[in-house]
Amino acid sequence: MRPKPFHLALALVGLVLGILLSVQFRLTTETMKTPQVSRVQAMAAKVNEARSERDRKQEQVNKMRADLDKIAAGAELGPLRVDLTAARIEAGLAGVTGPGIEVTLNDSNMAAKPGENPNLYVLHDEDILRVLNELRAAGAEALAINGQRVLATSEVRCTGPTILINRNQRLTPPFVISAVGNQDNLANSLKMRGGVIEYLQVFGIQASVKKVSNLNIPAFSGVISFDYAKPEAEVRNNQ
């Protein structure tokens, strides 16, 4: 019985398909064995391992943060938090709000008389310092000039028509000095007879004092650094 053409074609197709599958299998096997593919697979395995390690450490960090927040919220740390907050306010590192006064100062609008020094009718750094010192003496708990926090180390000096404060902040009049504290004490310290306001008004310097029930004084925005001053205890321990 002679095979039919259909059967021969089917056998030929099967033979070709088997050869193709065999070649494909060999190519795949050899490719998997090449060093480049092996390195890629090894790197992929390391990446997956690193990701797993990262996730594990992130879980540890989250747990530690939760534990720290829980400890910080404990009642036993209450006094420490109060002291830290007070220290940050005194250092100017925390914004504050509270009752106080606003002192607005501007150059005189009077014309200098013949022979008079025109600088007498212009605000100077010493005028600003007079106001600041009176407010400090009257118990001001936080001070700012035109929105710039005034620290214990803040300088106030004239640089041409402007006032320089905190090393790089140039301010122009009018100057608004904000002070948080007892409103009556602060205002009276400036308005008393022979006081700062009366002295400035002799030359027509414009000065006004306004009580504000809720002042907002921002935190110091610059950088605080000490190159020479060191804690005394630290110096003793290093000797």
| Residue 39, domain member (yes or no) | no
Give the containing element (helix H, strand E) for 103.
strand 96-106
C-alpha closest to that of 187 among 207, 172, 205: 207
| Residue 77, domain member (yes or no) | no
| Residue 115, domain member (yes or no) | yes
| Residue 209, domain member (yes or no) | yes
| Residue 195, domain member (yes or no) | yes
Domain containing residue 122: CATH number: 3.30.70.1880
Q: How many domains does the chain have?
A: 1
pLDDT tens for each residue of 43-85: 888 888 888 888 888 888 788 777 777 776 666 667 777 787 8
Its pTM stands at: 0.65
Contact 163, 170 (CB under 8 A): yes
| Residue 235, domain member (yes or no) | no
User: Range of 160's domain?
Assistant: 96-217
Amino acid letter, residue 237: N
pLDDT tens for each residue of 170-195: 999 999 999 999 999 999 999 999 89
| Residue 33, domain member (yes or no) | no
Burial of 181 (C-beta count, 10 Å sphere; 0-12/13-18/19+): buried
| Residue 41, domain member (yes or no) | no
